[in-house]
Structure 1
C-alpha cells in the first residue's frame, strides 16, 4: 500500500529540508561541561594468544585533551570455575596485557576489573568463538583509486558474524636531503645525515562488520576494508596492511553495529538517532556507575599484504606528503647568521650564481627534512 501525502505537506517538507542547513547553529548545553566520567573498556579475551585490554574514561565533547586513561587498575580473566589469568599494565598507561594463553573452548570466561579508586567491574560470562582463517586480503585498482578487500569462509557455518580491524604501515621519504649544517656560527658539510626513509604505523579507527546470517553458506566475499585515491601519499613508496579478523556472537555483533551507527552515521537529517550502548560490563559495588564496552572471547586471525608503487598504474600522481616543503626558500649570505641561529630553521644546501660563486643557502623546517618528526627510522621487521 502506498502512502500519499497531501501536496501542501510535501511542499512544506521540501522547503524545510532546504532551509535546515542555513539554520544550524552550534549548541553546547551548560550540562555538557559537567558530565560524569565513566569507564570505557576496549579489548577481547584472546583464547589463543595475548589478551590486551585498554581502559580509558569518557570525557566532555568539547574537551581539548585526549581521552583520559585508567591507570593503576587490577585486571584478570576468570572462568566459571574461578581459575584466573592476570593482566599487567604495560609501559603504555591504561593498557593491560596477559601472558600467552590457550583457553578451553568448552568453558566460559569473563573479565574482572578493580580500578585504583576501588570500583569493581565484570563482564558477562561469554563463550569462546573460534575465528576461521582469512582466505586472502586482495586489492584492486579502480578509476578513482585503490580498494582493499578481505575474503573468508567457515565450512561449518558457525561464524556468521564477523568484525575486522587493521594496522597499516607506509614508508615516507622527504623530498629535501640536507648536505650542510650550521654549527658554531659556521656552515659545514653535514656530519650525520638525516634518515632518508621512515615508517608510519596507524591502527584503524572505523568499525568494519560482516554478517552472513542471511546466506546459505558462511562466506565473506570481497568485504571492503580500505580505499585510497590515486594521489594518496601512503602508496608513494610502499604500503602494508595487517588485517585482523574476529568471530563474534550475535549479541557482540549487535553491540558493535549499534556503536558503528552512533559514531559513524550521525550528521544528516536522515541518519539514525543515537541509541544508548549497554554492552556487557557491569559495576559490582555501585549500581549507579556505568561502564561502556563489550568484552567477548575468541581467537584472532591475521594476514598481511604489502603493495609497492611499481605495482600500481604509472599514470597515478601519487604524492610524497612533502609537497608543501618544495621548493625551499633561499637565504642570502648576508642573512645566514641571523637565519640559522634559529634551531627550527634547517639549512639544506648551497646556492650558486650563474658564474659559480656562492650566493646563499636553501632553508627549510625540521618537519620537512627529518622524517622522524612524522614516523620512525627503525625499519619494520616485515618490510621487504
Structure 2
C-alpha cells in the first residue's frame, strides 16, 4: 500500500513539473487593435441634359489589403461645381450623403468643370478639370437574343444584346460610356394557378385561383451591371454597330415588354481609363491568375494633404438619352421554360422581397411601347 501511495505522489509531482514547464514556454503575444483607415469616396457626374444631377460623398473603411463594409454618408459638406468661365453651381444636401444641383442645371459642350468639396471639419478637396466633348447622335438601336454556353452543361445563359448604330467622328479622339439606368418591365404572372400554402389550417395546397392580377409594372436594375466603355483608337471615323447593353433573361424580364433606359455619353480619356480599371476589378473571378485588388485613384485630390488617398471620379459628359422597348414577340428565343408565377403579381413582388417595387397594375404615364 505504501509503495502505491509513493508511486502516485511521484506521478503527481511529475505532472506538476510538466505543467510548469509547458506554461513557462508560452510567449505572450501582444495585440493592438488599430483603427481602420477611412477614405473619402466621391461618386457622381454631370451631363448636358438639364436635370437635378447628384453627387454622393461617403467614407469607406479599410482593414488590411481590402475594403470591407458599406460607405458611410458624409453630411453637412459644402459642395459646388465651377466651370472655366467662373460660374458656380452650389449643390444642396438632400440626405444620406447625396448633394443635388438645381433641377435645370446642365453642362455645356466645350466648357471645363471641376468639383470642389469642403467638409464640416474644414478639409478641402477638388477634382481635376474635365472638359465636355460632344457625343455623336445615335441613328438607330436594335436588339437580338443571345445564347451563351455556361459551366452548367444543361442550361445556357440567355440574354438580350442591344446594339447602337452611329458614325464615329473622323480625325478626333472619342471615348464613349453607356450607362444603364433603372428600367421598367411588365411582370406577367398566373393568379389563376394559385394554391393555398402547405401550412394552411383547413386545406393545404388546395387550388384557390385569385381574381387579380396577372400584369404589373415593375422597376428593375438591369443585370449584369457591366461597365461598357469604348475608345475609337482602332476604328476612328468608321460607322459603328456596337453593343451598348446586355440584359440577362431571368425568365421574368422578357415575358412581355422590357423598357431599357440607357445614357449614351462622351467621356474623357482619364475617365475611360478609370472606368476600365473599375470594370476589371468588378470582373475578378477569384482565381490565382487575377491581379490583386487595388485602390483605384480617380481625379479627386486633397488640398490639405497631397499624400491623402481620395477615391472616386467626378466626370462630365455630353448625353443622349436612349429608351428601348424590348418586346417578347421580337426575340428569336427566350429563357425556356418561361418562369411560371402562380400568384397575383402584386403579392408575388412583396413575398419575393424584390429589391425594386412595382409601380402599379397601370402603365406609367410615359409608357409608349408602340413608338
Rounded to whole Å, the distance in 2 between the matches of 1:32 and 1:136 is 58
Aligned to 1:290: 309
Aligned to 1:206: 226
- 2:98 is equivalent to residue 95 of structure 1: yes
Residues 263-285 of structure 1 deviation map (CA, whole Å, 9 limit, x = unaligned): 32352222334444221101123
Aligned to 2:287: 268
Q: Give 1 or 2 for the bigger CA radius of gyration.
A: 2
Deviation at 1:369, TM superposition (A): 7.0
Deviation at 1:305, TM superposition (A): 0.8
Find the residue that maps to 2:253 and give its secondary structure.
Answer: helix
Is the contact between residue 60 and residue 70 of structure 2 (CA under 8 Å) also seen in structure 1?
no
Pairwise CA RMSD: 3.8
- 2:115 is equivalent to residue 111 of structure 1: yes
Aligned to 2:318: 299
Is the contact between residue 168 and residue 236 of structure 2 (CA under 8 Å) also seen in structure 1?
no
Is the contact between residue 235 and residue 308 of structure 1 (CA under 8 Å) also seen in structure 2?
yes
Deviation at 1:107, TM superposition (A): 3.6
- 2:83 is equivalent to residue 79 of structure 1: yes
Equivalent in 209, 216, 221 of residue 241 of structure 2: 221
Is the contact between residue 176 and residue 369 of structure 1 (CA under 8 Å) also seen in structure 2?
no
Rounded to whole Å, the distance in 2 between the matches of 1:126 and 1:369 is 42
Residues 101-156 of structure 1 deviation map (CA, whole Å, 9 limit, x = unaligned): 34444442211112234322110122222222233332112455332223333334
Rounded to whole Å, the distance in 2 between the matches of 1:127 and 1:208 is 20
Aligned to 1:6: none
Rounded to whole Å, the distance in 2 between the matches of 1:196 and 1:36 is 49
Aligned to 2:364: 380
Aligned to 1:141: 145
Aligned in 2, Cα 1:136/1:95: closer, same or farther, shift over 3 Å?
farther
Q: Which moved more, 1:365-374 or 1:240-249?
A: 365-374
Aligned to 1:67: 71
Aligned in 2, Cα 1:370/1:220: closer, same or farther, shift over 3 Å?
same
Residues 158-186 of structure 1 deviation map (CA, whole Å, 9 limit, x = unaligned): 35211111123222234336899xxxxxx
Is the contact between residue 165 and residue 241 of structure 2 (CA under 8 Å) also seen in structure 1?
yes
Is the contact between residue 260 and residue 325 of structure 2 (CA under 8 Å) also seen in structure 1?
yes
Rounded to whole Å, the distance in 1 between the matches of 2:233 and 2:214 is 50
Find the residue that maps to 2:191 and give its secondary structure.
Answer: coil
Rounded to whole Å, the distance in 2 between the matches of 1:216 and 1:156 is 6
Find the residue that maps to 1:82 and give its secondary structure.
Answer: coil
Q: TM-score, normalised by structure 2?
A: 0.69
Find the residue that maps to 1:217 and give its secondary structure.
Answer: coil
Q: Which moved more, 1:75-84 or 1:198-207?
A: 198-207
Gaps of 5+ in 1: 1-29, 181-188, 329-347, 349-364
Aligned to 2:25: none
Rounded to whole Å, the distance in 2 between the matches of 1:284 and 1:152 is 41
Find the residue that maps to 1:270 and give its secondary structure.
Answer: coil
Gaps of 5+ in 2: 1-30, 149-157, 197-207
Aligned in 2, Cα 1:381/1:286: closer, same or farther, shift over 3 Å?
farther
Aligned in 2, Cα 1:268/1:44: closer, same or farther, shift over 3 Å?
same
Deviation at 1:371, TM superposition (A): 7.4
